[in-house]
Amino acid sequence: MKVLIAGAGRLGTQIAQVLSAARNDVTLVERDDERLAELDDMPRVRVLAGDASEPGFLAGAGARAADVLIAATGRDEDNLVISLLAKRRFSVARVAARVNDAENTWLFDGRWGVDVAVPAATPLVSLIEEATGATDTVALLRLSKAGVEVIETAITEDSRAGGHTLGEIALPAGTVVATVVRDGQPTVPGPEIRLRPGDEILLVSHEATEQEIHAAFQ
């Protein structure tokens, strides 16, 4: 799923991290250079500097190909303009917008291109569920809140796990394989799956460190 997020505040950044971890194609847009400089490294997220309320910039950011646009800036007027452009000019299938001031809620409807209006106080999990309509991806966020780490490792030509089945890999305690992504497609992680170079493995663990998990495969 291609997701375009306008606003790299705390909310927009968290949404980008969760959806990118769930293997969505995420672009995060922010016009404040100082805010951009404060962002932590997000290797799976395309971060662009610019104003999403400008049609030309929004087009360049990928609005025409987006499946979902989330307007998550701190200004309701900006979120409305971004939503209207996304729906009317770029025909984005699903548009969600954050409502910062409850008194403006009545504006956030189809007339402004908003499919889903989300009050600022709505929990992050609910916002992502409403915005994307995909509750399965939100499980990653729930896991992190429960103290469970989501860790990724990849099989290369040099990985000692290459050629072995998942059942032959000694995983650290409290660790399970969530999925094996092969040729861009997730597969059910049965013990009989034989790992090969190019495979990407998503694991969840409440005890092991990232280094311990990598050591099991590399």
- Residue 81 pLDDT exceeds 80: yes
Residue 52 Cα distances to 27, 67, 79, 128, 145, angstroms: 11, 16, 9, 20, 31
- Topology (CATH) of 147-217: Alpha-Beta Plaits (3.30.70)
Q: What integer is the mean pLDDT of 168-191?
A: 80
Which band of pLDDT confidence, cut at 50, 70 and 90, is reported for residue 213? Answer: confident
* Cα–Cα distance measured from residue 6 to residue 28, given in angstroms and rounded to the nearest whole number: 6
pLDDT the model gives residue 107? 96
Residue 30 bridge partners (DSSP)? 49
Amino acid at 118: V
Other CB atoms within 10 A of residue 12 CB:
22
* Cα–Cα distance measured from residue 129 to residue 192, given in angstroms and rounded to the nearest whole number: 33
3-state secondary structure at position 45: strand
Q: What integer is the mean pLDDT of 90-95?
A: 94
Is the whole model's pTM more than 0.75, yes or no?
no
* Cα–Cα distance measured from residue 1 to residue 32, given in angstroms and rounded to the nearest whole number: 26
Pinpoint the residues of the chain covered by CATH 3.40.50.720.
2-135
2-135 CATH choice from 3.40.50.410, 3.40.50.720, 3.40.640.10, 3.30.559.10: 3.40.50.720
Average pLDDT value over all residues in the chain: 85
**C-alpha radius of gyration, the chain, whole number:** 19
pLDDT the model gives residue 132? 67
Pinpoint the residues of the chain covered by CATH 3.30.70.1450.
147-217
Query: Residues 95, 132: contact at Cβ < 8 Å?
Result: no
Tens digit of each residue's pLDDT (9 = 90 or more) over 2-61: 999 999 988 888 888 878 877 789 999 999 988 888 887 777 899 999 999 999 999 999
pLDDT the model gives residue 184? 67
